Each structure stands twice: as structure tokens, then as C-alpha cells.
Amino acid sequence: MRKLIISLLLAGASMMNLSAKNISPYIKVGEVEGTMQEVYGKVVNALAKNKFSILGKYHPEGKKSLQVIVFTRNDIKNTVVKVRDRGALAAAMRIGLQQKGNKVIVSYVNPEYVFRAYLGDSYNKYKKTFDNFGNDLKKAMSSVGSEFSSFGGSENAEKLKKYHYKIMMPYFTDPVKLNEYSSFKEGLETITANLKSRKTGSWMVYKIVYPTKKVAVFGVALRGSGKGSEAKFLPVIGESHIAAMPYEIILQNNKATMLHGKYRLALYWPELSLGTFMKIVNTPGGIEDIMKQITK
């Protein structure tokens, strides 16, 4: 009887630890000696050798000392789109490169963090696929660095599906409506054309299109002189988190939306103090203004 009670207590403690699991938004691969170009080449080669596909790259804020590589893989790309409430946003993963002296800090957004936040209750349904992706990504990046430390704050894993920064702040399920078109085709053509012409100064980093499902995701480099420009807010809230970028527009059927800035920025900068958040209080509205212009 005593052994049974002890076993039950241990099982209960194990369950409590599981439910209290915290995860961080970023994984630091390491600090790699070399130029930005040299380290970029190592990262891209590591991804290609492990069947990851490069979607795009760019320099946030236009700074040569910062670079983001966007990538995906078919198993993830084809799984997340099954989640109808903007699940396709989780198809694009990002690696951030930050030059510091003669070294480049390599980090990537934690796939589990993104999947849990964006896919809600559907996360557990496809957990095996997501775990394989995360493990394979770590294996690929092991040829670049060996640190693999978590950073950027942390959140309770189970609570990420209902994440919000503060009371009365938006959730994932509170997107910003940007525009509505007569058809998916019109929306796709309009947004693509505006990004190619660099309307508002912003441009397209990547595009993922699911023609049969009438879903498209656009990664946008936020440029220009407005309040939503990367150069206005990234230096304030932290450039070490550049793997959060670029910002996205998602087109589903004939409706274009984006994640609310008060949700998305807080999600990727969860340790942001209220004081610092107030310094970028106009950023969410500024980003919305840019995206609405792009979708017109």
C-alpha cells in the first residue's frame, strides 16, 4: 500500500511538472566566427542538406549586420494548412543572424513555441510531425553551432494557445481585417503587385501559396518612414529577436488579415516590460497602416 501511495504521488508530481513546462521563443545555435556572408552560406548549406527549402532572406531595418533566412519543409507546410484558422502562418520558420564584431550570432525561432501558439488545440493532433521537424532542425544546425540555449523569455507551453500580453489585449483569434476581395485570385494578384512595386516602401521577403485551398501567406519587410517601420521599433524592443521577422499577411479565400501587433509583438518579445511596450505604443497601428496600403 505504501509503495502504491508513493507511486501515485510521484506520478502526480510528474504531471504537475509536465503542465508547468515553460518554453522560450528562440534557440541560440551559437556565436560563429566569420563574416555575415560566410555564416549565411553555412546555414543555407545545412538547411539544404537536410531537405529544408529556403523561401527568402532579407536584412531587417536594411542593416547589413542583421539578416533573416526564412525556410520551410513540405511535411510542415502541408500539415499546418489543415488548421483552418490561419494555421498556414506556421509554415514559415526563421533563422536570425546578427553580426557582433568578428562573430555572427545564429538563432532560430523555436518551432514548438510557434506551433503551440498558432495552432491551438490542433497542436497535439500533429505533435509527432512537429517534434520530428524540431529535432531535424536542431540536427541540421549542429553543423553550424553547438550551444542550443533558449532565450527571449518563456511562457507556459499549455497556455500558449491562448496567449495574450495583458488583460484586454488581443489573442491569436483577434486578427486585424485588412481587405476583402471579389475572389482569392484578385486578392493574390493585388497583394503580389503591391509588394513587387514596393508600395509604402515595403516589399516581399517570401510568399507561400496553396492554390487548391485558396490560402496564401506573404512575409513583408516593413520599410519606410512610418511608425510601423522596423527601423522604428526593432532597436527599441531588441534586435536579438530578429528571427521573429518578417511580419505576415495571410489571404484566406477572399479575405486578407494580419495578426494584431499587440499580440504578435508581445508573443515574440514576451519579456517586454510595460514601460518598453509603451515606447512602441504606436507601432501596431503603424504596421496596420502599412499592411492596409499593401492590400488595397
| 142, 197: one domain | no
| Same domain membership, residue 136 and residue 185 | no
Range of the domain at 148: 23-155
Which residues have C-beta within 8 Å of that of residue 186, sequence separation ≥ 6? Answer: 254
Q: Of 155, 189, 216, which residue is a domain's last?
A: 155
Q: Are 104 and 39 in contact (CB under 8 A)?
A: yes
Q: What is the 3-state secondary structure (H, E, C) of 19-64?
A: HCCEECCEEEEEEEECCHHHHHHHHHHHHHHCCCEEEEEECHHHCC
pTM of the model: 0.92
In a domain, 262, yes or no: yes
Task: Write the DSSP string, the chain.
Answer: -HHHHHHHHHHHHHHHHHHT-EE-SEEEEEEEES-HHHHHHHHHHHHHHTT-EEEEEE-GGG-TTEEEEEEE-HHHHHHHTTSTTTGGGGG-EEEEEEEETTEEEEEEE-HHHHHHHHHGGGTGGGHHHHHHHHHHHHHHHTTT-S--EEES--EETGGGGG--SSTT---TT-PEEEEE-SSHHHHHHHHHHHHHTTGGG-EEEEEEEETTTTEEEEEEE--SSSTT-HHHHHHHH-GGGGGGPSEEEEEETTEEEE--HHHHHHHHSTT--HHHHHHTTTHHHHHHHHHHHHH-
Structure confidence by residue, pLDDT tens digits, 14-41: 444 445 699 999 999 999 999 999 999 9
pLDDT of residue 22: 95
Let me know whether 194 and 146 are in one domain. Answer: no
Amino acid at 146: S
Domain assignment of residue 164, yes or no: no
Amino acid code (one letter) for 157? A
Residue 163 lies in a domain: no
Domain containing residue 196: CATH number: 3.30.310.70
Please compute the mean of the pLDDT values over residues 163-177 and round it to a whole number: 94
pLDDT of residue 130: 98
- Residue that the C-alpha cell 495583458 belongs to: 166
Domain-located, residue 36: yes
Same domain, 37 and 143: yes
Percentage above 90 pLDDT, the chain: 89
Same domain, 140 and 181: no
Same domain? 151 vs 79: yes
pLDDT in tens, 54-110: 999 999 999 999 999 999 999 999 999 999 999 999 999 999 999 999 999 999 999
On whether both 27 and 148 belong to a single domain, the answer is yes
Same domain? 78 vs 129: yes
Is the same domain home to 123 and 231? no
Domain boundary among 126, 155, 184: 155
Tell me whether residue 248 is in a domain.
yes
* Count of the separate structural domains present in the chain: 2
* Of 123, 155, 187, the domain-final residue: 155
Classify residue 290: in a domain, yes or no.
Answer: yes
Distance CA 112, CA 184 (A): 30
- Same structural domain for residues 40 and 121? yes
CA distance 20 to 204: 39
Angle at 73 between CA 71 and CA 78, to 5 degrees: 120
Q: Does residue 74 sit in the same domain as residue 138?
A: yes
Q: Tell whether 27 and 151 lie within a shared domain.
A: yes
pLDDT score recorded for residue 20: 63
Is residue 198 one of the residues assigned to a domain? Answer: yes
Is residue 95 situated within a structural domain?
Answer: yes
